[in-house]
Amino acid sequence: MKLTETHHPAWRLLPELRELLFLARRAQGLARVETLARLECDGHHFPLLAFRFGPSDPTAPVLALFGGVHGLERIGTRVVTSYLQTVLSLARWDRSTQRLLEETRLLVVPLVNPVGMYWQRRSNGNFVDIMRNAPVEAEGVAGWQIFGGHRLSPRLPWYRGQEGAPLETETQAVCDLVRREVFPAKVALSIDVHSGYGKVDRLWFPYAKTKTPFASVPQAMALKHLLDKAYGNHIYRVEPQCREYLAHGDLWDYLYDDYRQRQPQGDYIPFTLEMGSWLWVKKNWRQLFSLPGIFNPRLPHRERRILRRHTPLLDLLLRAVQSPEPWTQLNHAKRQRLLRHGHDLWYGG
């Protein structure tokens, strides 16, 4: 189906979606654009769009980018869309980008939860938090810690959905895409862009469900070293999410474990970029009085700065799937060294 404005009247409602439909037209001949799901709300249809670059072979190395899982965090969608724009532009004329995309795949899903963004809320149309919706039970989340996910009421944020209910459409769409496009690959990375927690930009990896180290500590540490060496002044705090808080239903914990089951020899690390929005609030405290203001920069120059800020990271991850040897081909001694370093730095020795 051709993606035109007349097919998607929702384009009028969301500038982010309007931009994506515009880019879908620009992508012809460069990327395949797919509608993963059609979400209905308020008499409008919102498409959940995915852009796929590179070879169609699902075993080719892949980087997957996600944004807009939480409808309030518009800046996440904008960061991913801005990178999509860059790749679309470079793929037209830049030989090194063209060569990279001959052997490496790039998946881009900038707006996972368009209905949440339309309503300006964290959850989806059914008041379910997509990042608490996967069938994963965390260890040691106290009852009062509702931010870790709960089944008390859809009126409260961080609602997981009813016990035993099918996954939400958006959650299922992401799982289906990742299983189809990421699981067959022996080398894969993904990054899901969020905002709102803390003062620094955090680059999280699993687990969110437990403080027990995940199986890819050596690979995560090797990637951290690549980032530290290539961009010595980078701004990221690389750590497992459980260092900050534990949560039920984390989608990336769920998909990471599932990948490990199906592809035990493969390497896949799902990262989450949690942009620390408290700094933007500190610089402009009036933002505190509006909910979107807590999660997004309000001033245009500040937003532009954030859109520029993460390009080197996304570039590095794309290169890391194209040239994976330094973080995937680890001999025994090196693996042990990285493991020890990871345990010391992230898990208290």
Q: How far is the CB of 132 from Zn ion (least distance, A)?
A: 10
Q: In this chain, which residue has its C-beta nearest to Zn ion?
A: 194
Residue (225 or 298) nearer to Zn ion, CB:
298
Single-letter amino acid code for the residue at 72? L
Q: How far is the CB of 157 from Zn ion (least distance, A)?
A: 11
* Helical ranges in 106-216 per DSSP H: 114-119, 169-181
Q: How far is the CB of 7 from Zn ion (least distance, A)?
A: 29
Pairwise CA distance, residues 15 & 22, whole Å: 10
Written as six digits, the tokens of 278 are: 């408290």
Site string for Zn ion, 24-63 (x = CB under 5 A): ----------------------------------------
Single-letter amino acid code for the residue at 179? R
Q: How far is the CB of 74 from Zn ion (least distance, A)?
A: 11
Residue (19 or 129) nearer to Zn ion, CB:
129
Closest by Cα among 51, 39, 205 to 130: 39
Applying CB under 5 A, among 48, 49, 53, 70 the residue interacting with Zn ion is 70
* Number of residues lying near Zn ion (CB under 5 A): 3
Closest by Cα among 81, 88, 82, 133 to 111: 81
Pairwise CA distance, residues 175 & 169, whole Å: 10
Residue 194 found at the interface with Zn ion (CB under 5 A): yes
Q: How far is the CB of 185 from Zn ion (least distance, A)?
A: 26
Q: How far is the CB of 182 from Zn ion (least distance, A)?
A: 20
Residue 209 found at the interface with Zn ion (CB under 5 A): no
- Segment lying near Zn ion (by CB under 5 A), choices 140-148, 173-181, 182-190, 191-199: 191-199
Pairwise CA distance, residues 96 & 110, whole Å: 24
Single-letter amino acid code for the residue at 13? L
Residue 248 found at the interface with Zn ion (CB under 5 A): no
Rounded alpha-carbon distances, angstroms, from residue 134 to 43, 67, 73, 96, 170: 28, 17, 20, 38, 11
